[in-house]
Amino acid sequence: MLSLPISSADGKAKPFLDALFTATTSTCVTGLVVTPTVSSWSAFGQVVILILIQVGGLGVITIMSGLMILLHKKIGIGDRVLLQDAFNLNSLSGLVRFVKKVVAGTLIIEGIGALLYMTVFIPEFGAKGIWISVFTSVSAFCNAGIDIIAENSLCNYALNPVINIVTCVLIVLGGIGYIVWWDVLRVLKSTRIKKKVRFFRNLTLHSKIAITATLFLIFIGAAFIFAFEYNNPQTMGDYTLLQKIEVSIFQSITTRTAGFATVPQENLTNASAIVCLLLMFIGGSPVGTAGGIKTVTFAVIVVAAIASICNKGDAEVFGRRLTKQAVSKAVAVTSMSFIIMFSSTVLLSAVTDANALDIIFETVSATATVGLTRNLTASLGNIGKLIIIITMFLGRVGPISLAVAFKRSKDNQDIVRNPVEEISVG
């Protein structure tokens, strides 16, 4: 559809590879683009891109299940198992209700975000500001990072408090995960009924880890970026103290696989770029719209490493013991993501003469479906575009599929097990 002339802003059909790249980056909610979205695509093309972003953000299984519910079609046991795997839930009960809440909650939050954006975009763009607001809200919540405002992303709004706050909130809400949403609402409801209930203490372990890891990474990332960019005239060296804090927080949050930029990424210092690489690789939380290895995965790896260093038998966090399966899954997902990133980096380095840091930034961004770039995407040749297309696809699908495979295999373990033999590690 994107390769049709009607999708192009100038009425001339885009090259199929560019259309494929755009379709992939939209569906995988990555945000890397070979041509500026605002000037390259017609209204029809932008609608196609927005639909792909929404489908990619919610997930194909969720969208299809939502349509079946809307059409009053019965969801069979096979579809329920797919939903259970997609949302990483422990039970088949209440899945239909969960899907309804996910779809309704998503549309409500995106609608509120669009209304808040309109307070800025309608005065600036007129009636067109309504479409820009809707597109930006969906893109931000789905952590896609694609916009139709300007060719330099949100750099023109780096100091606009409304755009900054609304975008950051949408990114975090989309990336924190649906499971955390309902758990927080459950505890808030209990707190209102039983006024002595402690909020954080009554959250599930998953929610505690996701919220703690998210806040930790946001503020630690912002602190490093603030320090490394404080005197950089190409980013925020000329801003006031409060403006520097605002820009630093936005940069830290957008690296959580959102992809919007309020400062040119190629102007970041090397130290800041490396910090952003780590934040991008970790990404958001499970069962959300963000990519990366996920905050909970990162936390499990860290806790397991500390337990090993301290010679403890089990990894523990918040007074709870983590299962061996959870640790194994975290190691597997992290390893697979690293392999995808490393392979893509090597291949892209072989076909382009770009700076090594720019290449790594590009491949990590593609693997973790972030969408930030140091101005490399548009200059890629056909082979380079294909490498990034495959990287985005594997980055979005690979770790999730591996986690599902691990979950399904636990009930089919062989009775016969091989003998154990000690090895030296480290």
The alpha-helical segments, DSSP class H, found in 310-417 are 324-351, 356-367, 382-409
Considering just the CA atoms, what is the radius of gyration of the chain in Å? 22
pLDDT for 99 equals 77
Residue with tokens 């893109």: 139
> CA–CA separation, 250 vs 234, rounded Å?
17
Output the CA–CA distances (angstroms, integers) from residue 214 to 69, 144, 284, 285, 299, in the order listed. 33, 18, 7, 8, 10
Alpha carbon distance 11, 43 (integer Å): 11
Mention every residue, 6+ apart, whose C-beta is less than 8 A from residue 349: 356, 359
Residue type, 262: T
C-beta atoms surrounding 267 within 10 Å: 16
Q: What ranges do the domains of the chain cover?
A: 5-407
Measured over the CA atoms of residue 294, residue 252, residue 289 and residue 320, the dihedral's sign is positive
Question: Can you name the residues that pair with 221 across neighbouring β-strands?
Answer: none
> Can you read off the two tokens belonging to residue 396?
């979005």
- Whole-number Cα distances in Å, 413 to 65, 84, 330, 410: 30, 20, 19, 6
| pTM (global) more than 0.95 | no
Helix (H) or strand (E) segment spanning residue 320: strand 320-321
78: left (phi over 0), alpha (psi -120 to 50) or beta: alpha
User: In degrees rounded to 5, what are phi and psi of residue 294?
Assistant: 90, 150
pLDDT given for residue 192 in this prediction: 72
Residue 123 to residue 189: CA distance in whole angstroms: 39
Q: How far is CA 170 from CA 89, 111, 113, 174, in A?
A: 24, 11, 7, 6
User: In the numeric block, which tokens belong to residue 306?
Assistant: 């500390």
Find out whether 247 and 224 touch, Cβ atoms under 8 Å. no
HSE on the CB side for 71, CA within 13 Å?
Answer: 9
CA-to-CA dists, residue 67 to 35, 51, 56, 58, angstroms: 32, 14, 15, 13
| Rounded (5°) CA angle 114-187-191 | 110
Give me the tens of pLDDT residue by residue for the chain, a chain 426 residues long. 999 999 999 999 999 999 999 999 999 989 899 999 999 999 999 999 999 999 888 876 667 666 666 666 666 666 666 665 555 555 555 667 777 888 888 999 999 999 999 999 999 999 999 999 999 999 999 999 899 999 889 999 999 999 999 999 999 999 998 889 888 888 888 877 666 667 888 888 999 999 999 999 999 999 999 999 999 999 999 999 999 999 999 999 999 888 899 999 999 999 999 999 999 999 988 878 888 999 999 999 999 999 988 888 888 999 899 988 889 889 988 998 999 999 999 999 999 999 999 999 999 999 999 999 999 999 999 999 999 999 999 988 865 565 555 555 555 555 677 787 777 776
Residues 6+ apart with CB under 8 A from 204: 179, 183
- The 10 Å CB-count burial string (b at 16+, else e) for 62-74 is bbbbbebbeeeee
**Rounded distance, CA 416 to CA 9, Å?**
62
Could you give the 3-state DSSP secondary structure of residue 83? Answer: helix
Q: What's the half-sphere exposure (Cβ side, CA atoms, 13 Å) at 26? A: 24
Q: What is the pLDDT of residue 78?
A: 64
Question: Residue 191 corresponds to which tokens in the numbers above?
Answer: 């707190």
Task: Tell me the backbone φ, ψ of residue 339, rounded to 5 degrees.
Answer: -65, -45
Q: Is 254 in contact with 153 (CB distance < 8 Å)? A: no
Neighbours of 31 (CB within 10 A): 32
Beta bridge partner(s), residue 317: 320
> Per 3-state DSSP, what percentage of the chain is helix, strand, and coil (rounded to 5)?
65, 0, 30
Structure tokens at 272: 């800041």
**3-class DSSP state of 405:** helix
Q: What is the pLDDT of residue 397?
A: 80
Containing H/E element for 189?
A: helix 178-193
